Structures are given as C-alpha cells and as structure tokens.
Amino acid sequence: MPPASRGIPIARTTPVNRRWLPLNALRAFDAVGQRLSFTAGAQALNVSQSAVSRHVISLEELLGHKLFDRSGQALVLTEAGKVLLPEVGKAFDRLEQTMNAICANPAASRPIRIHIPPTLLQQVVMPMIQAFHAEHPDIRIDISSSHAVGLPSTETDMAIVFDRPNIDDRVTDLLWMVRVAPVCAPQTAERHRGKTLEQFLADAPLLHVKLEGQPRGLLWSAYANQCRIALDSDRGLAFDANALAVSYAMQSDGVALADIDMFAPEIAAGQLVIPYEAVINDGFGYYLKLRADDLADPTISMVRSWLIAHFAARGHAKA
C-alpha cells in the first residue's frame, strides 16, 4: 500500500517541475475538493471513484503532504489542501477561459477580469475605462461589480475593493481615500435649518448602503461615533449602492452618507448639499488588489500602472 494511503506522506526534498505536472491528478483533486466528496468528484469527471482516489493519492505522494483528512465521517481539506485548491481552480479557470477565447477568435487575448464597486464604477471609473479603451483597443476587459467590503467572492485578475487598510498576501495600492458627510436635497436642508447635526440626523430619514456581510448601520454608526453624537443608526431605508441612496436623497426628504469628492458634480450643480461642515475620514478607502504572481503578466501589470496613474491624477490617493 502506498505510504500516502496509510496517512504517512513522503517528505519531498526536490521542487516540482512543470514537466511532470500531473494534470489528471490535479483535475481529480479539484473535483473532489470543490465537492468534499470522492463520489461526487468522480461523478463530475465521469470516471470511477477508485480512479479519482488513486489520482489524489498520487498527488499527495508527489507533494509529500496529505490533501484531505479522511479520518472522520466528513471529508475535510488539510492545511495543504486549503492552500492548493484555490490555486488549482484559478489555473484551470484561466486555461478554460483562454482556450475558449482562442476557439472564438485565435488572435484575441484573454480578457482581464476586474471587480469594481458599483458607485465608484458609475461616478469615477466609467470615464477612465472609456479612455483606457481608446488608448488600448486591443485589450479586453471584463468588469464585475458587487457590494462587498473587501475582496469579492468571484475570481478576478484584480479588484478595486472598498475597505479599511489591512495586510494580506495581495499587492495593494491605495487609489481613493473616502471623505464622507451627510448629504441631502436643498429643500431637505432648508426644512431642518437651525437644528444641530445630532437633531437633524435624528429627525431626517437615514439612507443606508447595504454591504455584504456587514451590519445595516455600519457606516452611519462609524460616522456618529467619530462625530461624538447619539444616533439610532439602524432606522431608515437601505440601498444596494451609494449612488442609489444619493439619488433617492436628491428626490426625497432622506439624508445619505456619501463621499463628497465622488459626488462633487452633483454638489456643484446644486442638486445635493452638505448642510453641516462635518466631513470626516472614516478610515475607508478604495484599494486595488491583485496577486503578486499575476504581475508577471505584462497586460495585468500595465492595467495596474494605468489605473494607479489615473487615480493619482485626480489627487485622491492620499495616505
């Protein structure tokens, strides 16, 4: 019986070389790891369970580490398995995408997948993308958008994320530091003229932005804490994007918490007002994140440099 099948992997002392990458074994590991089931993995690949098991064991022997803990009733990834699985999935996804692109158009390059939060995309990045396309018409970009704080759940080549500063294994560049204040329609500000900021926010309907996995009143609560005022931060309406909350504020009696630089055109046009000089930096910003090894791709590296330069030209990438 092979040592790995007895739970005693062979420690590997030489590096793995691409000349002997076990593609079938990696496919088997990916199928089983995604489903945490040898049976379901075998069904997905339309092969026998014993064949999938042999492939996984051979991969464990090659690496010198177990990839699954088979001791309990449920199949569990080991620490080595947790490290390898997303990288294998990413590699297969990229191969699949590139090969499909070649089938459709042999001369076309693989699209660069970029995640951008929706309001930043609408208010700031859309003109940048138009300018980039005019300068680099041969580079294809696929844009996705979500309301998450931090990295999106979907696989991307690079992501602009809305978050507070943090340290992880990604290359991280600050693009835009947020400065927020309560904003509303001019008629709303007029109705509440003479009130303190605390009383204004207590009387006016609060407009929220939904952030995946975060409390409803997170941003308003952080604002109130920094301004040292009492606020019931959970009441009011919630929207999927800050642009929607601000749009509603311009047409109603609600008050939104918004980045005053991002909505400077609406403020300059008089559609939106800042009724109180209570602008704060709440620690949130927009950061460009990508994997260090992806910088070896000249197109990804060029897109990153282009974005950094164009955000810097707007003067918002301040520490």
CATH of the domain at 215: 3.40.190.10
Number of structural domains (the chain) is 3
Three-state SS for 103-147 is: HHCCCCCCCEEEECCHHHHHHHHHHHHHHHHHHCCCCCEEEECCC
Q: According to the model, what pLDDT value does residue 24 have?
A: 93
Domain final residue, candidates 54, 83, 104: 104
In terms of domains, do 139 and 54 share one?
no
Structural domain boundaries, residue 260: 180-268
The answer to the question of residue 274 being in a domain is: no
Whether 172 contacts 267, CB under 8 Å: no
Query: Cα–Cα distance between 91 and 275 in angstroms, integer?
Result: 51
In terms of domains, do 306 and 235 share one?
no
In terms of domains, do 96 and 170 share one?
no
In terms of domains, do 10 and 159 share one?
no
Q: According to the model, what pLDDT value does residue 262 have?
A: 94
In terms of domains, do 144 and 57 share one?
no
Whether 280 contacts 227, CB under 8 Å: yes
In terms of domains, do 166 and 306 share one?
yes
Spatial neighbors of 92 by CB under 8 A, at least 6 apart, are 26, 27, 30
pTM equals 0.67
Whether 209 contacts 238, CB under 8 Å: yes
Q: Which candidate, 269, 271, 120, 262, places its Cα nearest to that of 184?
A: 271
In terms of domains, do 296 and 163 share one?
yes
Whether 289 contacts 158, CB under 8 Å: yes
The answer to the question of residue 11 being in a domain is: yes
Measured at the CA of 118, the angle between CA 110 and CA 294, to 5 degrees, comes to 35
Q: According to the model, what pLDDT value does residue 238 have?
A: 93
The answer to the question of residue 156 being in a domain is: yes
| Element at 173 (helix H, strand E) | strand 170-177
| Element at 165 (helix H, strand E) | none
Q: According to the model, what pLDDT value does residue 318 have?
A: 42
pLDDT one-digit tens code per residue, 268-297: 999 999 999 999 998 899 999 999 988 888
Whether 245 contacts 173, CB under 8 Å: no
In terms of domains, do 118 and 52 share one?
no
Whether 200 contacts 231, CB under 8 Å: no
The answer to the question of residue 8 being in a domain is: yes
Whether 249 contacts 218, CB under 8 Å: no
Q: According to the model, what pLDDT value does residue 95 have?
A: 82
The answer to the question of residue 275 being in a domain is: no
The answer to the question of residue 222 being in a domain is: yes
In terms of domains, do 9 and 94 share one?
yes
CATH of residue 37's domain is: 1.10.10.10
Domain final residue, candidates 53, 76, 104: 104
Q: Which candidate, 84, 170, 181, 176, places its Cα nearest to that of 124?
A: 176
The answer to the question of residue 148 being in a domain is: yes
Whether 157 contacts 112, CB under 8 Å: yes
In terms of domains, do 56 and 145 share one?
no
Query: Cα–Cα distance between 223 and 178 in angstroms, integer?
Result: 12
pLDDT one-digit tens code per residue, 27-75: 999 999 999 999 999 999 999 999 999 999 999 998 999 999 998 889 9
Q: According to the model, what pLDDT value does residue 108 have?
A: 57
Q: According to the model, what pLDDT value does residue 13 have?
A: 60
The answer to the question of residue 295 being in a domain is: yes
Q: According to the model, what pLDDT value does residue 10 have?
A: 57
In terms of domains, do 203 and 150 share one?
no
Q: Which stretches of the chain drop beneath a pLDDT of 70?
A: 1-13, 101, 105-109, 316-319
Task: Enumerate the β-bridge partners of residue 158.
Answer: 114
In terms of domains, do 96 and 116 share one?
no
